[in-house]
Every structure is written in C-alpha cells, then in structure tokens.
Amino acid sequence: MLFLKKKTIPLTDFFSDNFIDIHSHLLPGIDDGAKNLKKSLELILKMYSYGIKNFITTPHVLGDVYPNSSETIKSKLIEVQSALKEKGYLDIKINAAAEYMMDEQFSFRLEKNDILTLKDNYVLVEMSYFNAPINLYEILFEIQLKGYKPVLAHPERYNFYHNDFNNFYKLKKAGCLFQLNLLSLTEQYGKNVQKISHELLKANMYDFVGSDTHHNQHLELLKKIGTKKNYTKIEKLLINNGKVFN
C-alpha cells in the first residue's frame, strides 16, 4: 500500500470498508455515551468521516447503574437506524449488542440466555476497574458452558493486572478473547495502559479491536492513532474484526 511509505496515515486509509467497530456507546440516553439522538448521529457521522461504516454498538449493562434490558437496547437501535435512513446514509450499517459487567445480575441473564451477542456466540464482557470478580473464572466457565465465547473488553485497562503479566495468560487459557481499545494506543487512559497495550500486542494476545467511543473528545483523540507504526501493529486485528463480525 502506497500510504505505508508515509509516517502518518489518514484514518480513511486506516479503516477499510470491511472494518467493523465492535465496541462503542452510540445509542441515545441509555449509558455514559451519546446523551440523545442528535449526539448519536454526530458521533456516528464523525466516525463515518474516518471511514468507519459498520458498527456493533455496545451500551453498558451494569447492575442498577445502567440496567438496560435487551428490549431497551433494541428499541434505541431502531431509533438510530431510522434516523440514519431518513438522512440518506444507506451505506452505514449499525447493529447493537451490549457490554456486560460480569456481576451477579449478568449470571442471572446468562441462566435465562437473555444475552445480546456481538455476532453468533461472541459476548462482550468487562470487569470493574478496581478489582476482578472473586468468582471470575467461574463466570468465564459459565459463559462457555452456555455456548458463548467471552470477548474481554480492554484488558489493558485493568490496572490490577499490570504488575503480573501472567494474569493475562491465565485469562487467555480460560478461554477469553481480548479486545484492544484503539485509544489505549494513545495516552487517553494513562501511560501504564498504553505500555501494557503494546506489550500485549507484542505477545500477540489480542483478537479484536474497538473504538470504545463515548463522546466527541474520544474521536478527536482517535486521529492520533493514524501512524504507520500503529497500523503495522494492529493490521491483523483490523482485518479479523471484518472477517469475524461482518
């Protein structure tokens, strides 16, 4: 590719037509992402200007903080899909899953098979940033027993694992797939997170990438990832997103 001769890469070249963003918060008013439909469209169209046309957006499902039901998520998705169609953006494809906090309520949902998957049996899960669940490995086992594949959102952001890299190997051995936050390649979440993300990339431990877009500041910062060095490191992941989720 000719653009690889340059040090910086426009994001429209960085993201191919087949790329699909599997982690974002673009549905209006149901979590800490887009506050209303106007903001939802602003964020989606900004990402569209970067070359991202395919989305599986993932609102939080988190205890009593964001107690989003599958029905709530689906109804908000229809609202966004209709607005995009009305504005003539027929080449934007947006679906919805969820980012599930691995807590007691998630276990109840799992029992009832009330899970919105990214596609097929892939389910996006997260942990608290303060500590892992005491029964983490039991939950991961339960997920797989139900026939799902756990995709752990942004493993690089769990600071409690930073001092012992073996924790990441244990998670992979337990069947976890890893999703890198694109903004972890910048200093958005701190230098330690940035460092760990590069170490995990070097160890070839990531499976997918996601933007984890919440607001416009994230998208302004996303421009910084457009370098030859970053592209080389995550090219396979960008391609894998398209292969698995399209």
Exposure of 145 by Cβ count < 10 A (0-12 exposed, 13-18 middle, 19+ buried)?
exposed
* Mean pLDDT in residue range 201-214: 98
Q: What is the pLDDT of residue 5?
A: 54
Q: pLDDT at residue 3 above 90?
A: no
Q: pLDDT at residue 162 above 60?
A: yes
Q: What is the CATH number of domain 16-245?
A: 3.20.20.140
**Which of residues 28 and 4 earns the better pLDDT score?**
28
Confidence of residue 2 (pLDDT cuts 50, 70, 90): very low
Q: pLDDT at residue 1 above 90?
A: no
Q: What is the pLDDT of residue 6?
A: 57
Q: How many CB atoms lie within 10 A of CB 73?
A: 21
Give the pLDDT confidence of 66-92 residue by residue, as tens digits.
Answer: 999 999 999 999 999 999 999 999 999
Domain spans of the chain, in order of start? 16-245
Q: What is the pLDDT of residue 7?
A: 83
Give the chain's mean pLDDT.
96
Alpha carbon of residue 138 to chain centroid: 23
Confidence of residue 240 (pLDDT cuts 50, 70, 90): very high
Q: CA–CA distance from 237 to each of 22, 180, 188, 213 (Å)?
A: 12, 9, 20, 18
Q: What percent of the chain has pLDDT over 70?
A: 98
pTM: 0.96
Give the pLDDT confidence of 85-135 residue by residue, as tens digits.
Answer: 999 999 999 999 999 999 999 999 999 999 999 999 999 999 999 999 999
